[in-house]
Chain A
Amino acid sequence: EPEVTQTPSHQVTQMGQEVILRCVPISNHLYFYWYRQILGQKVEFLVSFYNNEISEKSEIFDDQFSVERPDGSNFTLKIRSTKLEDSAMYFCASSEGLFSYNEQFFGPGTRLTVL
């Protein structure tokens, strides 16, 4: 069964460093998302992406964040200068069709630890 994959599973970085989290969505899906979950808190939406541009983004997704689909398969989330409060589990998701009508399939997550 096709699935969303994410790499790495765990990333440790120093405050101020740039990190890139990678995702390979399900191959025929057109809509891509990033969510994050700070330990013990709710899963929060960050950004959605369709047709090579951002569709929606939350207040969390400030100028320190960017997303890219550099080739036909990868979908990346870049945090330019990490802060301690960026420590969280980051989930990538994808859906086949319009987000309002289709289930989103989540990857296993990347645990980001900022020291």
Chain B
Amino acid sequence: SQQGEEDPQALSIQEGENATMNCSYKTSINNLQWYRQNSGRGLVHLILIRSNEREKHSGRLRVTLDTSKKSSSLLITASRAADTASNFCAVNDYKLSFGAGTTVTVRA
């Protein structure tokens, strides 16, 4: 089955900077979801973007979806220390298939 694959694997930025991470997948999807996981904690849902949507915003988060390229991006603007976490994209057929994630470290 397919899964999302995130790129880069890790990202280190200064507080206040923006962070962009990408996700690629292989087959057609109904929707793509981004989740966050703080170290050793549970998964928090960030954004769901449907296959007929191209862009979605939620607070400081912006997600794009390009179904022709089978890719999505997550932009975190004006990063804060609390954004230090692993971010995962997950493609949804009958289950969520997660990639290995992008670990974001925000330096004070």
Contact = CB atoms under 8 A, between A and B. Distances in A.
Contact of B45 (A42, A43, A45, A103): A103
Contacts of B96: 33, 35, 43, 45, 93, 99, 104
Given A100-B92, A103-B33, A91 B42 contact: yes
Given A43-B88, A48-B94, A100-B31, A105 B45 contact: yes
B43 A101 contact: no
Interface stretch (B11-19, B62-70, B73-81, B97-105): B97-105
Contact of B98 (A33, A42, A56, A99): A42
A108 B88 CA distance: 16
B45 A106 contact: yes
B94 A109 contact: no
A106 B44 contact: yes
Given A43-B88, A106-B44, A100 B94 contact: yes
Contacts of A44: 98
B95 interface: yes
Contact of A106 (B42, B48, B94, B95): B42
Given A43-B88, A103-B33, A55 B94 contact: yes
A42 B31 CA distance: 20
Contact of A100 (B43, B45, B93, B99): B93
B91 to A, nearest CB: 10
Contacts of B33: 103-104
Interface of A: 33, 35, 42-45, 48, 55-56, 58, 89, 91, 93, 99-109
Interface of B: 3, 30-31, 33, 35, 40-45, 48, 50, 88, 92-101
24 contacts: A42-B3, A42-B100, A43-B88, A43-B96, A44-B98, A48-B94, A55-B94, A56-B94, A56-B95, A89-B40, A91-B43, A93-B96, A99-B92, A99-B95, A100-B31, A100-B93, A101-B30, A103-B33, A104-B45, A106-B35, A106-B42, A106-B43, A108-B42, A109-B42
